[in-house]
Amino acid sequence: MRERMSRKEINIGMIGYQFMGKMHSHAYRDLSFYFEDTLKPVLKAIAGRNETAVIQAAEQMGWESYETDWRRLVERDDIDVIDIVTPNHTHAEIAIAAAEHGKHILSEKPLALTVEDAERMKEAVEKNGVLHMICHNYRFAPAVQYARKLIEEGKLGQIYHMRANYLQDFIMDPSFPLIWRLNKEVSGSGALGDIGAHSIDLARFLVGEISEVSGMMETFIKERPLPGAGQGLTAKTENSEYGKVTVDDAVAFLARFENGAMGTFEATRFAGGNRNKNKFEINGSKGSVRWDMENMNNLDVYFEDSPAGLQGFRSINCTEEVHPYAEAYWPPGHIIGYEHTFINLMHAFMKGIEAKESPSPNFVDGVRNQKVLAAVETSASERKWVSISR
Ligand code: SOE
């Protein structure tokens, strides 16, 4: 870390520059605008193979320098943190190299393609004594943090159910191209690992560890046109050549939690009309909560002890001073957005680095998450319940 002016600064090196590259860059740049109690990230260097594109990204997002080879970036002694926002199949190699060069690491989710790779990443960071996090940003929505507080305080009582649905619809058009998220060798799985992983993380954060699962997976559109230049969620293509989709378009699974609660999960990219509806409901003996990313500032709560005639869900706008993170932003009712969940996560990471600890969700959480993903895939292919080892 570098001493400069009044704030300790920490030099970030980021690998990748597409959707999450832009989101993480925004979070690093805005962090010190909202939080003055921790390290100030410096956008030191960004890496990407396409020199023209990475130069453009560096200029647009405010990175001081660029590299066209990530291996050069992880070797630089002016870099303190490596942020991995590249497709899933690259996470393990990059993270292990970064750990071996003494860099703290933030990795996008899911941690890896396999449990074995995720375990190797965890071993590398622990062996090299570097700090680590995985970017499950939805934990850092104030309403989700408040739900966790209510549960921890016993306000919901014994937890009976969590039902989580992560609903998208961006690939329902058969002409949508075969982007990397639809290629098992690059992505590992489809809706399951890309968005189901978020629901699994929220389940672990709010209810607890999952002990066994029973799942089903489906690929509704088996072939798609090969991609052109674009690989994002709004990619288009003129390609007349087709390729096989090798991941799930949708997944549904049952889960039993170690504490006895029941879980029902769904992650799909074929729920027409739902753009990014990451939502859950948790029911306990004393009350329930429910949250929907498309209305992310609000937490619906229900308490059994409300007076007769007044029972029912009510919506709490989690922007009051008592609510997590509210003081960092605006007066009550002046809501925040998707990008602020990343700023809140980066704040936790910076505080963790200062305290020399890896805040949750870290690579230990990433391995647990990867084990649930693998168990769901095994369950779906072998049509049986699958237990998850600790
Ligand atoms: C695409 O499904 C995606 O960009 C995910 O990869 C992100 O993790 C999620 O936050 C939004 O949707």
| Residues facing residue 244 across a β-bridge | 223
CA 338 to ligand 1: nearest atom: 10
Q: How far apart are CA 79 and CA 59, in angstroms?
A: 19
Cβ of 219 below 6 Å from ligand 1: no
Mutate which of 166, 276, 296, 344 for ligand 1 pocket (most atoms within 8 A of beta carbon): 276
For 317, the enclosing helix (H) or strand (E) is strand 314-317
Cβ of 119 below 6 Å from ligand 1: no
Where on the phi/psi map is residue 20: left (φ > 0), alpha (ψ -120 to 50), or beta? alpha
The single residue listed with the structure tokens 């998850």 is: 388
Q: How far is the CA of 359 from the centre of ligand 1 (A)?
A: 22
Nearest to 89 by CA among 165, 1, 9, 189: 189
Using DSSP's 3-state secondary structure scheme, residue 210 falls into strand
Q: How far is the CA of 195 from the centre of ligand 1 (A)?
A: 6
**Please, are residues 304 and 298 in contact by the beta-carbon 8 Å criterion?**
no
pLDDT tens-digit series, residues 339-384: 999 999 999 999 999 999 999 999 999 999 999 999 999 999 999 9
Cβ of 266 below 6 Å from ligand 1: no
Give me the sheet containing 159-167, strands edge to edge.
Answer: 314-317, 298-303, 287-292, 277-284, 159-167, 262-268, 250-257, 210-218, 386-387
Cβ of 83 below 6 Å from ligand 1: no
CB crowding 138-162: b at 16 or more within 10 Å, else e: bbbbbbbbbbbebbeeebbeebeeb
Cβ atoms within 10 Å, residue 241:
8
Cβ of 231 below 6 Å from ligand 1: no
**Please, are residues 215 and 205 in contact by the beta-carbon 8 Å criterion?**
no
Using DSSP's 3-state secondary structure scheme, residue 133 falls into strand
Residues in the chain predicted with pLDDT less than 70, given as ranges, are: 1-6
Q: How far apart are CA 15 and CA 21, in angstroms?
A: 8
**Please, are residues 171 and 182 in contact by the beta-carbon 8 Å criterion?**
yes
The pLDDT value recorded for residue 260 is 98
Q: How far is the CA of 276 from the centre of ligand 1 (A)?
A: 8
The single residue listed with the structure tokens 């306990």 is: 284
The single residue listed with the structure tokens 């560890």 is: 209
| Residues facing residue 164 across a β-bridge | 265, 280
pTM exceeding 0.75: yes
